[in-house]
Amino acid sequence: MNKPVILIGGGGHAKVVADCILSCGGCVAGVLDDRLPPGHETLPGIPVLGSIAEYEKYAGDCSFIIAIGSCEVRRRLAGELQVSWRTAIHPTAAVSRFAEIGEGCYIGPHAAVNACAVIGAHSIINTGAVVEHDNIIGAYSHISPGAILGGSVTIGEGTQICMGACVRNNIMICGGCVIGAGAVAVKDIDISGTYAGVPAKLLKQIPENNT
């Protein structure tokens, strides 16, 4: 039987993760958040229980999911917290039986993850995103609402493909990138940074020690 779930983070993304878990018949025990006061309700009946540092109180009885959109914050917290991680897949998502989904992932409403795709741990495949066949999505990545990845795309760790962006088939994008909303990546990207436009071009390089 699935354990009750604790959400790490109580912002906007936590609302959709909580709704997903409840839609699957799961139980959300509450939220741990450093910015919200205990008792504050992220959604009706889902209270903030305390700060993230208090997670050990619940580690034996609950599973956890990091309900925070930031790739870097999810990476840091996943390394710090010694807990059982929960993966949340919305019942309207289309996930191939041949796909591989890592621990702690969230796959949102009407998202598609097709055959032989591999989704790294603690990644987000958000509402209506399309991850085509043979994609490899690095851990801690975020494929935002409406983003489309063609077949055989490889995305490095901690990369965000923003809303409505498209990545052509057979493209490789290195870790630590942000592909801006509506951008179209038509060639490999091997420099960590922020990209925008059609075709996507580098706007700002990210220093190596920040990836």
Query: What 8-state DSSP symbol labels residue 56?
Result: G
Q: Report pLDDT for 94.
A: 98
Handedness of CA 10, 160, 120, 80 (dihedral sign): negative
Give the pLDDT confidence of 57-87 residue by residue, as tens digits. Answer: 999 999 999 999 999 999 999 999 999 999 9
Distance CA 71, CA 21 (A): 21
Q: What is the pLDDT of residue 26?
A: 96
pLDDT band at 1 (very low <50, low <70, confident <90, very high): low
Determine contact, residues 177/159, Cβ cutoff 8 Å: yes
Task: Please write the tens of the pLDDT for every residue from 36-63.
Answer: 999 999 899 999 999 999 999 999 999 9
What amino acid is encoded at 92 in this protein? T
Domain presence at residue 154: yes
**H-type alpha helices, 62-138:** 71-80
What is the extent of the structural domain holding 159?
A: 89-199
* Whether 117 and 47 share a structural domain: no
Point out the residues that are catalytic: 133
Task: Let me know whether 82 and 93 are in one domain.
Answer: no
CATH classification at residue 112: 2.160.10.10
In a domain, 28, yes or no: yes
Peptide bond into 199 cis (omega under 30): yes
By the 10 Å C-beta count (0-12 exposed, 13-18 middle, 19+ buried), 65 is classed as buried
Q: Is residue 211 part of a domain?
A: no
Mean pLDDT of 161-190: 98
Q: What's the CATH number where 81 sits? A: 3.40.50.20
**Total structural domains within the chain:** 2
As given in the structure block, the two tokens for residue 17 are 């993760």
Provide the whole-model pTM. 0.95
Same domain, 117 and 165: yes
Residues 6+ apart with CB under 8 A from 70: none
pLDDT at 211: 46
